[in-house]
A and B are shown apart, each in its own frame.
Chain A
C-alpha cells in the first residue's frame, strides 16, 4: 500500500518534471483527447441526465410540500456543480478510460514495448504518461461542464413534467441562475482537475508496474479502477474540507 503510494508520488513528480516537453507531445495529447471524448461523451450524457432527474425526483416533492419548490433549480445545480458532476464523471472516466490506460500500458510492459522505448533512450513517462495525464486533465473538466448542463436539463425536465414536483422549467432555471455563482463552478472544476491528474497517475502507475502476463494485466486494470475510485472519494472529502472556508454560506 505505502509502496504503491510512493511509486505514484514518484510518477507524479516525474510527470511534472516532463511538463516543459508537453508541447512536443501535442499530437499524442490530441489523440488521447479524441479517444476520451469518443469513449465517454455518450455515457456522460446519459449518466448526468439521469442524475439530474433523480435529484429533482428525490428533492422536488419534499420542497414542493413545504412551499419551497422554487428552490429546486439551485439545489440541483449546486449538487451537480460542486459534488455529483465532478465525482460521477471522475468515476466514469476511471472506469472507462483509466482502465483502458492501465490495460494498454500493462500490455506494453508485458510485451517489452516499454523496455524497447528505454533502449531507444526514450523516456516512457514523457512518451506515454504525460500525454495521458494531460488529456485527462483537459477533458475531465470539459466533461463536467457538459454534465452540469445536461444534468440541469434532466432535473428541469423531471421538475416540469412530474406531477409530484410540478415546478415549471422557467422557475427551475431562474433559481439555478440566481443560486449558482462562478466560485461554485471553480470549486467543482478545481476538484475535477485534481481527480483527473490523480486518475491518470494511478492508472498509468498500475499499468507500468504490471508483471506476469495477461493475468497481471487483468490484476492491474482491477487495481487501477478500484484505487482510483477510493482516491476520488478520499480526495473529494479532503478538497471539500479545505475549500469549506471559501464557501459563501460558511460560518
Chain B
C-alpha cells in the first residue's frame, strides 16, 4: 500500500560541529549530520553515548558549547523559530503533567495557546487519543493511573495535537514489553506517514531501529561513527557496530 502524501512537509535538520561538555566530561564531540525532510532518522548507540543530550539540543533544551543546528536553514537559537516550525518531543518518561488528566495533557498545547475553542479541543483530543488506541474512559484518568505503555501513547497523542513538522522520540520503547514496543513502533511510523513530519528517534532498541528507520546513525563517545540505511548499518564492518548488533544473551 502506498502511504498518503505528506500533509505538511517536515523540516530538514542540519547539524555542524556540535560539541557539549558537562564539567570535564565531553558528551558530544563534534557531531555533523544531515537529516532529510520527512524521514524517520534513528540515532542508535550504547547507553551514555550522548543520544538524549543530542536530542535535547535539537529542541532547544540544551545550549551547545560550540557548533550549529539549523532547521530548514533557521538556527535553533533563533527566537522566531517556534513561530515558523512546530516541534514536538516524546520524552522517555512521557513527560506528562501528573496534576492534569490525560485529556487535559493532550489538549494542553491548544488550550494554553488558545488556538481552538474548548469544544473543538475536546473533539481533537478524542480524535488523537483514538489514533493511539486510548478510550474516552482513559481520557479521564490521571497519568499516575496509567501503565508505562499508556503513558507513552498519551505522550504521542500530545505530540500529534501540535501537528509537528519535526517530532523527536527519546527512548520510545524503554520499559515496554515487546508487544507494547511493537505498538509504539507502529505509532511512530503511522505518525510519520500521516503528518509527513521529520521524525528523529533516539534509542538502543535494535529491532525498532531496523524495523522503522529510513536511515540510522550510530553514536559512540560523542561522535557519529556511521550513517546509512538499515542495510548499510547491518553490513557495517565497524567493530563496535558489529559487537553492538551481535550482542546476545547466550548462557556459557
Contacts and interface: CB of A to CB of B under 8 A. Distances in A.
A118 B61 contact: yes
A113 B158 CA distance: 13
Interface string B83-98: 0000111011111111
A116 B59 contact: no
B147 to A, nearest CB: 16
B108 interface: yes
Contacts of B89: 115-116, 119
Interface string A125-140: 0010000000000000
B92 A112 contact: yes
Interface string A102-119: 001001100111011111
A240 to B, nearest CB: 38
Interface residues of B, number: 24
A121 interface: yes
A120 B93 contact: no
Contact of B109 (A107, A108, A115, A120): A120
B112 interface: yes
Contacts of B162: 120
Nearest to B112: A122
A120 B111 CA distance: 11
Contact of A120 (B61, B92, B98, B112): B112
B112 A115 contact: no
B109 to A, nearest CB: 5
A131 to B, nearest CB: 11
Contacts of A120: 88, 108-109, 112, 158, 162
A172 B158 CA distance: 62
Contacts of B60: 118
Is the interface on chain A under 10, 10 to 19, 20 to 34, or 35 or more residues?
10 to 19
Given A120-B109, A120-B162, A121-B113, A111 B93 contact: yes
Contacts of B243: none
B96 A113 contact: yes
Contacts of B93: 111-112
Contacts of A121: 82, 109, 113
Contacts of A115: 56, 61, 89, 91, 95
Contact of A119 (B61, B94, B96, B98): B61
Nearest to B164: A119
Contacts of B113: 121-122
Nearest to B168: A119
B95 A113 contact: yes
A119 B92 contact: no
Contact of B112 (A107, A112, A116, A127): A127
Contact of A116 (B56, B82, B95): B95
A112 B96 CA distance: 8
Nearest to B161: A120
Interface in B29-69: 56, 59-61
A126 to B, nearest CB: 9
B170 to A, nearest CB: 9
Nearest to A119: B89
A118 B109 CA distance: 11
Contacts of B59: 118-119
Contacts of A127: 112
Contacts of A112: 91-95
A119 B87 contact: yes
The 7 tightest CB contacts between A and B, nearest first, are: A116-B95, A112-B95, A112-B91, A119-B89, A120-B109, A122-B112, A121-B82
Given A111-B95, A116-B96, 17 more contacts: A104-B99, A107-B98, A108-B97, A113-B95, A113-B98, A115-B89, A116-B155, A118-B60, A118-B61, A119-B89, A120-B108, A120-B112, A120-B158, A120-B162, A121-B109, A122-B109, A122-B113
Interface of A: 104, 107-108, 111-113, 115-122, 127
21 contacts: A104-B99, A108-B97, A108-B98, A111-B93, A111-B95, A112-B92, A112-B93, A112-B94, A112-B95, A113-B98, A115-B56, A115-B91, A116-B96, A118-B59, A118-B60, A119-B87, A119-B89, A120-B109, A120-B162, A121-B109, A122-B112
